[in-house]
Amino acid sequence: MNLKDRWDNLDHATQKWLLDNPGCQVLPRTITSVISKECGEDLATGQHGQALVSREDQDFIRSKMVNAHP
């Protein structure tokens, strides 16, 4: 998915959800749908509308947490 390139397009509520769930490996379809709308593109999803979160994306989210709370 590459959240790093999409981060600035996400609203605060979506960013907060991601920061509150840094170990999430599969995004719920509601969050996947919101991210798709906010970024203006369809994300690759499974049959239930969920998107996989890569290790790179998880690491990026964790790095945002560290930078947000020094």
Q: Is the pLDDT of residue 22 over 70?
A: yes
- The ranges assigned to domains in the chain are 3-68
Task: Identify the sign of the CA torsion 43, 44, 45, 50.
Answer: negative
Q: What percent of the chain has pLDDT over 70?
A: 96
pTM (2 d.p.): 0.85
